[in-house]
Amino acid sequence: MHDGLPDLSMPNEEQVHLAAESFRMLADPTRIRILWALLQGESSVTCLAEFVGASATTVSQHLAKLRLAGLVRGRREGTFIYYAAADTHVRALLAEALFHADHTDRDLADDRDHEHALPAARGGLSSSGPIRNS
Ligand SMILES: [Zn+2]
């Protein structure tokens, strides 16, 4: 019946559930802004609130949920907590989502040489200017 996909192996129940949960967590413009800001480096609630143009209370609530979902981690230093994106996969998720949005927005073909003019993130994505053909 499904001869077309003989070697297809599906992720297990738990993996699918957790991936869906991650997408659910990311389905919010403010959270995407927060995570994008965190890709530039560690940040505090106060700084993040300024970056994303939301109140510290709102940012705190988003961070708590993102942290529970394993997308963000916190590091306590005295009375401050510094937040960062959990790992390189979170970077990749955000980058790909924004690149894909760029494709949709600019009606870009995947096989044509193109650039993505997203702000460069420290530590992984792009350290020097626009990313080519990604
Ligand atoms: Zn692209």
Q: Is residue 116 part of a domain?
A: yes
Q: How many angstroms separate the alpha carbon of residue 32 from the centre of ligand 1?
A: 19
φ, ψ (nearest 5 deg) of residue 13: -55, -45
Q: Is residue 6 part of a domain?
A: no
Q: How many angstroms separate the alpha carbon of residue 94 from the centre of ligand 1?
A: 13
Do 57 and 123 belong to one domain?
A: no
Q: Is residue 2 part of a domain?
A: no
Range of the domain at 98: 89-131
Do 124 and 111 belong to one domain?
A: yes
Do 31 and 67 belong to one domain?
A: yes
In 3D, which of 103, 120, 133, 129 has the Cα closest to residue 39? Answer: 120
Instruction: Give pTM, 2 decimals.
Output: 0.78
Q: Is residue 78 part of a domain?
A: yes
Q: How many angstroms separate the alpha carbon of residue 68 from the centre of ligand 1?
A: 31
Q: How many angstroms separate the alpha carbon of residue 112 from the centre of ligand 1?
A: 9
The number of distinct structural domains making up the chain is 2
Which residues of the chain are under the pLDDT cut of 70?
A: 1-3, 118-134
Do 22 and 41 belong to one domain?
A: yes
The CA angle 28-20-132, to the nearest 5 degrees, is 65
Query: Mind listing the pLDDT tens digit for each residue in 64-84?
Result: 999 999 999 999 999 999 999
